[in-house]
């Protein structure tokens, strides 16, 4: 039977409830770039929302190292939120990126990092649509003169993305999962850099600055697909960007 969006969200949530500690990071490539820009742009009284905040290390740093003085961390997983340090002026909320519980134009900055590829539909095509909805909502909750600060792990071609999506969809449910080193319940849908940037433009945000770095697709080694990946020359690209957001809503 076909799964509806709600069930797929629950599966993602259950996955992160199980692996919270494993997926918890304290620093990432690109943090300095993003924090540097936030130091330049932020003023007293500014706020930042982090969607899929995980253990909240990024919002903690934004609060400590920039003029931002209110941070909001949202995550679908309670286990992830529990890993957050308690800090004054930091507010946490368990919710889905697809249903942000905030009024339009609420935040000066909206951030997400490594969250979008976890928003999946039943097929790769509907996963892209869902990802676009999340980008649209991120723009909506950002103030008119605010910024989106987004990092997403993208993949070079749609073929590669389809391959990974359907391989995981199949493997993650079978006893082969352990053999192939796939974490149970993990399904991801990577956008290509073009799809990611198109989604941002379609949501009405304009691009201020983009950095792209090439990362070794380490998780693919866990998929035991290394030889075919190499021949397909898969490469993952981290796309960091600052986007001027907060379009007026109709």
| Site residues, ligand SAM (CB under 6 A) | 9, 12, 16, 23, 25, 28, 51-54, 75-77, 80, 96-98, 113-115, 118-119
> Dihedral of CA 196/153/68/130: which sign?
positive
Smallest gap from residue 88 Cβ to ligand SAM (A): 21
Taking the least distance from each CB to ligand SAM, the nearer of 16 and 147 is 16
In angstroms, the CA 5 to CA 79 distance is 21
Q: How many CB atoms lie within 10 A of CB 86?
A: 7
Smallest gap from residue 248 Cβ to ligand SAM (A): 25
Taking the least distance from each CB to ligand SAM, the nearer of 186 and 225 is 186
The phi, psi pair for 227, rounded to 5°, reads: -60, -45
Task: For 18-57, give the DSSP string.
Answer: HHTTTT--S--TTHHHHHHHHHHH--TT-EEEEET-TT-H
Smallest gap from residue 99 Cβ to ligand SAM (A): 9
Write the CA distances from 173 to 50, 82, 170, 184, integer angstroms: 31, 28, 6, 7
Taking the least distance from each CB to ligand SAM, the nearer of 30 and 232 is 30
Taking the least distance from each CB to ligand SAM, the nearer of 25 and 174 is 25
Smallest gap from residue 51 Cβ to ligand SAM (A): 6
Taking the least distance from each CB to ligand SAM, the nearer of 8 and 230 is 8
In angstroms, the CA 235 to CA 230 distance is 9
Smallest gap from residue 141 Cβ to ligand SAM (A): 13
Smallest gap from residue 227 Cβ to ligand SAM (A): 26
Taking the least distance from each CB to ligand SAM, the nearer of 112 and 231 is 112
């Amino acid at each position: 039977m076909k799964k509806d969006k709600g069930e797929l969200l629950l599966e993602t949530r259950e996955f992160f409830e199980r692996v919270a500690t494993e997926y918890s990071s304290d620093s990432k490539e690109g943090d300095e770039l993003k924090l540097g820009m936030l130091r330049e742009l932020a003023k007293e009284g500014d706020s930042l929302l982090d969607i899929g905040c995980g253990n909240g290390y990024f919002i903690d740093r934004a609060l400590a190292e920039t003029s931002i003085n209110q941070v909001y961390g949202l995550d679908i997983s309670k286990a992830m939120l529990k890993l957050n340090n308690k800090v004054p002026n930091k507010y946490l909320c368990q919710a889905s990126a697809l249903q942000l519980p905030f009024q339009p134009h609420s935040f000066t900055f909206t951030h997400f990092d490594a969250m979008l590829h976890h928003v999946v539909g039943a097929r790769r095509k509907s996963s892209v649509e869902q990802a676009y909805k999340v980008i649209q909502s991120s723009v909506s909750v950002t103030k008119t003169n605010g910024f989106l600060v987004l990092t997403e792990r993208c993949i070079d071609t749609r073929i590669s993305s389809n391959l990974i999506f359907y391989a995981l969809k199949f493997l993650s449910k079978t006893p082969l999962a352990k053999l192939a080193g796939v974490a149970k319940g993990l399904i991801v849908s990577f956008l290509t850099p073009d799809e990611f940037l198109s989604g941002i433009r379609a949501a009405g945000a304009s691009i201020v600055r983009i950095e792209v770095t090439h990362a070794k697709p380490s998780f693919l080694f866990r998929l035991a697909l290394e030889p075919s990946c190499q021949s397909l020359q898969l490469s993952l690209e981290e796309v960091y960007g600052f986007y001027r957001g907060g379009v007026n809503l109709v």
